[in-house]
Amino acid sequence: MTAANEAKAILERLGVDAAVWSGHLPTRSPIDGSTAGSVLETPHVDAVAARSVEAFHAWKRVPAPRRGELVRLLGEELRASKDDLARVVTLEAGKIVSEGLGEVQEMIDICDFAVGLSRQLYGLTLASERPGHHMRETWQPLGPVLVISAFNFPVAVWAWNACLALVCGDPVIWKPSEKTPLTALATQAIFDRALARFGDAPEGLSQVVIGGREAGEALAADPRIPLVSATGSTRMGKAVAQTVAARLGRSLLELGGNNAMIVTPSADLDMAVRAVAFSAVGTAGQRCTTLRRLLVHESVADALVARLKA
């Protein structure tokens, strides 16, 4: 079965609207370079932001534990569709099966984490110099959150941001990498199942914007979106930071890494070899946590190098 046929079968099974993934913007599988599918670009980005603002006005009034219930349901739906979503990650992002499954498991884990936080949005009670008075700190929802994700973790990055944003009362707009739109559409379909079970969530609570750099730039510049969380290259992060700062917005940037590993004389070298190999070449080296600097004590350097060569 071709990547395109397999992806089509999975998307149909998940309930993705065929009109959305039958467009003119191709996505190719890194496995063999074949076309995994073609999607429609989102035509009206401005309307997406407007719907998100409307959703915010309703969602911020929902009690945080109730908002956490939606995320709990999302975790259940992800468990039920774990194999399907992981397979789309493999087909479109080129990850090996274990890494695709691991990424979806990471989404499930962050759902569990966010559900717990939904009952822990604590504030402070402060003393006042005025007799008979006290001050109280209360956290307020911020507004629509834009999540710009990269191709190397096409679904987990969205989950890290979206689950916490939803619990905090903030709708989510997702601009996935143009290299991995199918995984975003599949995830949104799974989220829609959780929404249907939840019952009374506002329209526009989670939206996917398919497109290239221009779509991301338009959303990053939109003053209706107070927070932009972007994952990708340092060059991309600089562009996002400048755009958002120019309108006095807020940004969370997860960019390139420069990671080191230290091997001491007392290290278990067999364990170190496995750690070095996975950190250096896992996900084909395409991740911010990839090993770039290996610092080894001279007393074990030759033995470690010999094991790595073997």
The residues annotated with a catalytic role in the active site are 254, 288
| Distance (Å, whole) CA 177 – CA 165 | 20
What contacts 186, CB < 8 A, 6 or more positions away?
Answer: 10, 11, 14, 16, 84, 85, 88
- Strand, coil or helix: what is 151? coil
Q: Is 23 left (phi over 0), alpha (psi -120 to 50) or beta?
A: beta
For CA atoms 234, 85, 92, 206, the dihedral sign is negative
Answer yes or no: are the C-beta atoms of 128 and 135 closer than 8 Å. yes
Q: How far is CA 119 from CA 24, 68, 162, 170, in A?
A: 44, 8, 17, 16
Report phi then psi at 134, rounded to 5.
-145, 165
Nearest-Å Rg of the Cα atoms of the chain is 22
Answer yes or no: are the C-beta atoms of 126 and 137 closer than 8 Å. yes
Answer yes or no: are the C-beta atoms of 215 and 225 closer than 8 Å. no
- The tokens describing 96, both together, are 């090996």
